[in-house]
Every structure is written in C-alpha cells, then in structure tokens.
C-alpha cells in the first residue's frame, strides 16, 4: 500500500475538500485525485462520494480511516526509531569483565541521557570489524594489529585504551607479597592462560610479550571458566595468570588472591575503538571524545608495547 496515497486520503478527510488537501500537501488538486483513485483501486472500494458541496466518506472510507491514521503513526514511529540519536548506541565490549565494559559504564555515568545497548559478540577483531562494517553494531573495542590502510575503506580505528597488567596469584605463590613485579621476574614463573585461541589479536599480543621477555605462557588445559581458573590459582604455589588492571574478577575471601602490578617496564595491551566513518549517530562522537579525554588524563611512561602498536 502506497503510504503517500494513505497520507493524501487522511489529508483530504481532515481538509474536507481535495483542493484544500492539495494546498496542505503542496501538490496539485489533480495529484490528490490521482492518489485517491489509485488507493481506491488498490483497496477495491470507493472511499469518497463527490458532490457539488465537496467530498464525503463512504461507509468503507469511514471504516478505513482509523486504520489509515494508525498506518501513518506507525510510519512516523518507524522513521523516528532509526533517526540519528533516537535509537540506542550499540557497542560491543567483547566481555563484560574487561576494560572496555568498565569504561563504557564510566561513559554512561558521565552521559546518563544517552541510551546504550551494550553487547558481547565474543568475536576476534576481524569478525567484530565485519559486524561494524555491516551495521550490526555501531562500534567495538579490539586491539588492531594492522595498519589503518589495511582496514576496510569505511572503517576507522583509534587507540583509546592502554591497559596495564597485574599478576594474579594465590597466597602461597613466591610473588604473592611483592608490591610490584617486573617482566624479567615473570620469566622464572609459569603464567597460565588456558584456552587462548591461536590467531586472535590477544594471542598475537601474548606471543610478542613472551618473546620480548622470555616468558612461559602455558595455554594447556581445558577451559572451565573464570571461576574455576581462580580456584586453581588460589590453591597453587606455582600457577599465576595475567589480568588487565580494570578486569573485574570476584572471588571468595578465603581464596586470598593477590593482584600485583607489573612494572619496569609496564606491558601495555593497546585497544582501539572501531567504527564506520559514515555512522551519523551523535552519541558515537560523544563516546569518542570521552574516551580520548580519559586516555589523555594518564600518559604512560616506561612502557612496553608490541611492535604493531608503536
């Protein structure tokens, strides 16, 4: 059904005459007559009777009128739902435990009037970028290991998170009481990170980190989830793992787990915000500005970055 014809029908009813409806719609009276005739043909009924005094609704026209008005209201709602700024900004954070989710929550506190739709695609940078390119999400956070010229033409990325590391150990571990540890010290200890998929950007990062400092990163073992990982580390004098400083873990007090900052130099996991350059959503600009200001507040010194991020 042609909505322009439906709109013309409603305008003719409200105006009382085709001539007045034409003026309201900024079209000719002939165009009004043609649209009404086409609508009547589509519906297979007469909507108006025409007399010297004007036009009057038939019984069918009276029956159709409330539905015509609802069609136009539905059109207006559909149009408004996707207008820039009218729908929620959809952002992928990959996991609700890690730094992007924490910073997005911080953005929400600073801009409570901006509607957010926070999703976790559980995808690597290539799949997440494809989702941005396809319009499934407005933005995503990932480490970008390729130069900007190798990204799809419409895609933009800028580094917004420099995530420091902490060593997570149980109370019997040799480094449990250290105030800080260096990457060189970690070379003597087993770092357990089971289930890290080869070929992902985070696997590339930890390969570079291990090579730079002679670390032993153990990927062996079934993955039973973060809770099981924490329980194993709490009960071990040898196991340790690495976590971002803003990664959110919860464990029972009885575990007595320790988070020890890694410094001198501080390894940095760099994450970028990825978005489409032609995305008109106004909240996307607000998010980019917020993340840029937060990163500028804490410049890093004496850090280590993988070669592709320098």
pLDDT at 297: 62
Buried b (16+ CB within 10 A) or exposed e, 130-150: ebbbeeebbbbbbbbbeeeee
Q: Please give the residue that has the higher pLDDT: either 299 or 253.
A: 253
For residue 18, give Cα distances in angstroms to 24, 43, 51, 95, 181.
10, 19, 12, 59, 83
**What's the pLDDT at 51?**
74
Please check the confidence at residue 231 and state whether its pLDDT lies above 80.
yes
At a CB cut-off of 8 Å and minimum separation 6, what does 181 contact? 167, 175, 260, 261, 262, 263
Structure-block tokens of residue 165? 């590391």
Average pLDDT, the chain: 91
Q: Using one digit for the tens of pLDDT, what is the confidence trace for 173-189?
A: 999 999 999 999 999 89
Read off the pTM.
Answer: 0.75
Q: Which of 82-86, 102-106, 124-128, 262-266 has the lowest mean pLDDT?
A: 82-86
pLDDT tens-digit map of 53-106: 767 899 999 999 999 999 998 888 787 777 766 789 999 999 999 999 999 999
User: Span 19-44, mean pLDDT?
Assistant: 91
| Beta carbons of 159 and 306 less than 8 angstroms apart | no
Strands (E), 76-203: 89-92, 116-119, 139-142, 155-169, 190-192
Place of tokens 């290539």: 126
């Amino acid at each position: 059904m042609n909505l322009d014809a439906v709109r013309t029908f409603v305008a003719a009813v409200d105006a009382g005459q085709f001539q007045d409806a034409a003026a309201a719609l900024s079209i000719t009276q002939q165009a009004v007559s043609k649209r009404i005739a086409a609508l009547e043909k589509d519906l297979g009924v007469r909507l108006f009777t025409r007399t010297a005094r004007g036009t009057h609704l038939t019984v069918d026209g009276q029956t159709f009128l409330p539905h015509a008005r609802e069609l136009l209201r539905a059109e207006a709602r559909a149009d408004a739902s996707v207008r820039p700024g009218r729908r929620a900004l959809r952002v992928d954070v990959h996991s609700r435990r890690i730094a992007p989710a924490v910073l997005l929550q911080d953005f929400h506190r600073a801009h409570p009037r901006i509607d957010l739709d926070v999703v976790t695609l559980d995808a690597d940078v290539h799949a997440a970028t494809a989702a941005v390119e396809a319009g499934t999400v407005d933005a995503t956070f990932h480490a970008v290991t390729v130069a900007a010229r190798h990204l799809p033409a419409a895609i933009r990325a800028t580094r917004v998170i420099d995530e420091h590391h902490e060593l997570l150990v149980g109370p019997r571990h040799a480094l449990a009481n250290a105030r800080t540890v260096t990457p060189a010290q970690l070379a003597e200890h087993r770092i357990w990170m089971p289930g890290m998929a080869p070929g992902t950007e985070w696997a590339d990062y930890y390969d570079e980190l291990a090579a730079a400092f002679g670390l032993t990163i153990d990927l062996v073992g079934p993955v039973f989830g973060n809770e099981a990982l924490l329980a194993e580390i709490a009960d071990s004098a040898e196991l340790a793992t690495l976590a971002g400083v803003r990664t959110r873990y919860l464990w029972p007090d009885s575990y007595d787990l320790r988070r020890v900052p890694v410094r001198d130099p501080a390894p940095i996991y760099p994450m970028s915000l990825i978005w489409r350059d032609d995305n008109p959503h106004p909240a996307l600009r607000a998010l980019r500005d917020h993340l840029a200001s937060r990163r500028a507040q804490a410049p890093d010194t004496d850090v280590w970055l993988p070669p592709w991020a320098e």
